[in-house]
Structure 1
Amino acid sequence: MEEDFPFHSTLFDYLLTLLGLFLYLLDVCLDIWTAVSFYQDGAYGYLAVLIFLLLGSSVLLQVFSWLWYSDVLDKLETGVEKCVNRHRLIKPVHVLQLGVCFRYAGVVEISTYSFLRQTDHFSENVALSLNFDLQMLRLIETFSESAPQLTLMISIIAHRGNLELITGIKTLVSAAAIASSIVAYHRCMRAFLPEQRQLGWTSSFVYFLWNLLLIIPRVTALAFFFSVLPCYIIAHFLSVWMLLVLGAWSQKTDFMENQYWEWLYRAAVGLIWYFSWLNVAKERSKEKSIVYYVIMGLDTMVLLGLWCWMVVDQAGCLNTFDPYIVIPVLLGLYIFGIGLRMIYYRWLHPKCLESEIAEPHKPEDMGREAACYMVEDTSPEPAPPTQPITGVHKRTRTMAVNFFS
């Protein structure tokens, strides 16, 4: 059995960890400020929608976080986790909606020890495991809160028919933040590859750009549709989301430990798919992504067509948002984004066959070099059966297999 190797954190990695925590806390403060602004302006309808998005996303994150903790309460590694668990406060922490902050504290602790070169405290397996769960939670939060909230903000702008420069910049920054969260998840997946196949600046930029170009048309189409037919957006979301959940079920996902909780994961996948693609199965991933983008492209065109039909006679809206200009621009961004995605997966994305991804014999064998290498069977006799991996090691390996297939 291979031994765990220490986790080394550079100054850049350490600063990124602290920046991530700061941006998370800043996002919470901005959400509160936005809610207060809606209340002061008397926009109680928008306030109700915002509160629903914030509370719904937070509860979803806490449920996932608690489920992932519940199986490993006796195997916690960081001092923060051990202290809170010793006083039986992990469940109250999640009830108070502080689970993500708690996980950030654990990641910051590991990064601090590593940055100070006290590498005997934690192995890289522990660091990767904690970081993976955190990035997975942040990815779910991105599409359960940030993307819907951006849709709400754009719909308000479209409804008022007035786009100021500062508002446009804020909207673009919000879309870039969503794409950045996807890149952060991508970097987390790349951590399971050998050092020479880590995510470089060129591939990072291309990956960020094509996600940004595909997210902007999707979110804008939903927002414009919401601005003219607010009651129908719920019916649209529920119908599309349920079909996407069934699509996740048809791929026989195996992410959670319990088959009943697997449906919660599939529901979260359907929510992510409502805005962006995430590969959750290893078989025929290329064909499935093609089908997905064709369907989402057609759905986006229908939404834009209905918006155009509703506003074409409203001269006030055409002063800022002319459908005959907006729609071709958005479709052009979508097509360009698809082209960049093809370039990325043709030349920049590492590909690993399932047979090249190591099956760790024990959870602690799950490290960076256990992600991709050829397995040669030189034993004259069949190898003894190994214990199945569970918990975060199962989740990380499952997503790595799906991501690089």
Structure 2
Amino acid sequence: MLHSENQYTRLRWFLTIVGLFLYVMDIWTDVVLALKYFQEREFVWTGLTLMFVLAGLLLTQIFSYAWYRDDMAEKETISGMSKGGLAALHLLGIGIFTRYYHLLKQGFKVVWTKTNTVEESEDVHHKLFCLATDLSMLKLFETFLESAPQLLLQLYIVLGHAECSVLQYLSMVFSFLNIAWALVDYRRCLRRSLPHVSEMPSGTPTAVYLLYKLCTITSHILSYALLLVLSTYTTVGLTVVWLLGTTWTHLLQTNFCSSAGLEHLYRAIIGVILTFTFFNVKGQDTRVAMIIYYSFCSIINVTAPLLVAFLKPELLQMETLLTVSCIICVCSVLGLVCLVLYYLHLHPRENRREEDEVDGLKKETENMRRMRSFLQP
């Protein structure tokens, strides 16, 4: 009999629908907000808001199709569709929705019916987790290419230009929720789909991990927003940070993609992710890298409010500046405390097997290789 952590349950099927809802609402609120800016003749805000939406959509379509194509090297079709049909769907920008459809359709058949044997059941549930993991990887890309930059942009507009509207707050709320959902969903799906990695316990470990990520990301984005309010030349600094992250990823010689061009694009996207939060790029011991990264983040979090307060206090009302500074301080401390607590006491210990013994499979599939080579929590 399958253990509950190895089953794709009805609850997880419903949570997939929740993830789809947050994804759609995040994009919808941003598009409606861009239309509002356009009507107000704020063409710069319109362009930037739409740019982040399109960047997330375009790059996730590229990787989604590339992964389908790689998987087709092992079978003629995916879910009854040819390469041409899948290419057309991705050109129309609905590759992610295609994956949601396939996962929900296959998951529905499994969670409301029973397979005949334990072996068949294990195989079916594992394949569902593999589908969910591919989707969570793409959602992670979309989150840091669209939701996180969008949250930063709207915070900058609200803080620096005193423009507050319900749509702006809705956009920020759904961006924040999408970030939170993508982080936990990706972490849990990845650990379930890799047999050599221990399952992430629910409850306290998940809550502490989520707090660690959300608090550090929130403090970092707020600090970036204050620096942007202080000077738009902060964009140059952010570009430098992105280049450093991309260069570090390149020096680690990642081997995630099946082609050199996609690998370079992947490394550039990881550079964007590292601008907002830390991830283990190659599944190695990164204690020193994490210390350096979060030391740098802490310096930014302390420096940003002080620079605004002493150099240009007229840019923000004192009450607003104090509120934002307190949030940055509390989130920074709480995030670092949760980080230390999680990795010292709550992090699942890995139980690695030989690479050719993956749940009885003699050959690692392309899907398994992709998951093993992706960002590690």
Q: TM-score, normalised by structure 1?
A: 0.81
The aligned counterpart of 1:85 is: 82
Cα distance, 1:90 vs. partner?
0.8
For the residues of structure 2 that align with 1:59 and 1:102, how far apart are their CA atoms?
A: 15
**Amino acid across the alignment from 1:51:** L
For the residues of structure 2 that align with 1:204 and 1:70, how far apart are their CA atoms?
A: 33
For the residues of structure 2 that align with 1:163 and 1:90, how far apart are their CA atoms?
A: 41
**Matched position secondary structure for 2:280:** coil
Q: 1:125 to 1:325 in 2, by over 3 A?
A: closer
The aligned counterpart of 2:369 is: 394
Matches within 5 A, 1:1-400: 8-73=7-72, 75=74, 81-85=78-82, 88-119=84-115, 123-161=124-162, 171=172, 174-191=175-192, 192=194, 197-230=199-232, 232-314=233-315, 317-322=316-321, 324=322, 326-352=324-350, 356-361=352-357, 365=360, 389=364, 391-399=366-374
**Amino acid across the alignment from 1:49:** L
Cα distance, 1:254 vs. partner?
2.1
Cα distance, 1:399 vs. partner?
4.1
8 Å CA contact 1:206, 1:344 repeated in 2: yes
Cα distance, 1:173 vs. partner?
5.8
Name the Cα RMSD after superposition: 3.0
Q: 1:282 to 1:174 in 2, by over 3 A?
A: closer
**Amino acid across the alignment from 1:339:** V
**Matched position secondary structure for 1:82:** coil
8 Å CA contact 2:256, 2:263 repeated in 1: yes
For the residues of structure 2 that align with 1:59 and 1:184, how far apart are their CA atoms?
A: 22
The aligned counterpart of 2:3 is: none
**Matched position secondary structure for 1:180:** helix
Question: After alignment, is 205-214 or 391-400 more displaced?
Answer: 391-400
For the residues of structure 1 that align with 2:246 and 2:307, how far apart are their CA atoms?
A: 25
For the residues of structure 2 that align with 1:164 and 1:40, how far apart are their CA atoms?
A: 14
8 Å CA contact 2:70, 2:366 repeated in 1: yes
For the residues of structure 2 that align with 1:390 and 1:307, how far apart are their CA atoms?
A: 52
**Amino acid across the alignment from 1:107:** L
Cα distance, 1:247 vs. partner?
0.9
Deviations 1:47-72 (A, max 9, x none): 01011111112111111112111222
Deviations 1:18-57 (A, max 9, x none): 2222322233322221122111222211001011111112
Unaligned 5+ runs, structure 1: 1-6, 367-385
Unaligned 5+ runs, structure 2: 1-5
For the residues of structure 2 that align with 1:212 and 1:185, how far apart are their CA atoms?
A: 14
